[in-house]
Amino acid sequence: MQAPPDILETPAALQPRLLKGTIFELLHERIIGGKYAAGEWLRQEEIATQLGVSMTPVREALDLLVSAGLAERIPYRGVRVLQPTPAEIADSYFMRLLLECSAARAAAQAITPAQVDELHSLLEQSRGLVTLNDVSSQRQLNRQFHLAIVAAAGIPLLTKAYETVLNTFPEWMLYEYMFRHPELLTASLEAEYQEHTHLVEALAAGDMNQAVFRASRHIINRARELELYLNVPGELLRQREQQMLPLLGLEPQP
């Protein structure tokens, strides 16, 4: 998929000489917002020209994307947005269930009133973001929401591991698909908002079991969309559920 002509339009607030971190954040935002498709090449020269910078910080930013798990470097060809195999998606799903549900359990014990307020604020900002024009903002808020829950567990190494796993979970592929099938988008985003609301309620109440249940249902529902819309083999995903859910004290889903 070709990026829209203005995909890398430089915000006016940015300085002419962008640092690698700024370029990384810009590309990162576009990938998780569904503006680049899985497998799409990130052309170093093209990005440098569009941003009006030298190729050195662009190359360094691409290296950061590879390290973060959002892109892969193909020898003698360049860097492209990660295009995971079904087995890799299933592995990422397993790890997301493990880490996010564990974080939800810990956060239900450790979350502070200020952190609950932050989650409510993120929920309020995402309310009503259900159109194609809203997707980029919605995906950014969604990422902040999940990272805030994991941070509330109070285990910095867990946060670091979770962020790597979150980068490999191909939600950006789902939203690229929904860009092409907008009739699916509103219902999906409204359901996601409700799932987030129930999860925050469980965390605010300090209910560990309910927090784990709500976190697991939310992730499982995203996996069902991967199966339905992206043809990821359902048997692979359910195999991972059968391995993981009993460890979390949950019954495997039908």
* Domain range list for the chain: 20-81, 86-248
pLDDT per residue as tens digits for the range 184-229: 888 888 999 999 999 999 999 999 999 999 999 999 999 999 999 8
pLDDT digits (tens, 9 = 90+) for 161-192: 999 898 888 887 887 787 778 888 888 889 99
Percent of the chain past pLDDT 90, that is, above it, reads 55
d(CA 113, CA 91): 34
Cα separation, 157 vs 89, in Å, equals 22
| Residue 199 and residue 211 in contact, taking contact as beta carbons nearer than 8 Å | yes
Which residue, 74, 16, 13, 14, is CA-closest to 44?
Answer: 74
Looking at domain 86-248, which CATH architecture does it have?
Answer: Up-down Bundle (1.20)
Give the ranges where the chain is alpha helix by DSSP (H). Answer: 20-32, 44-51, 55-68, 86-110, 113-126, 135-152, 156-168, 171-180, 185-204, 208-230, 234-244
Q: How many residues does the chain have?
A: 254
Facing residues of 81 across strands? 71
CATH code, 20-81: 1.10.10.10
State the pTM of this model.
Answer: 0.79
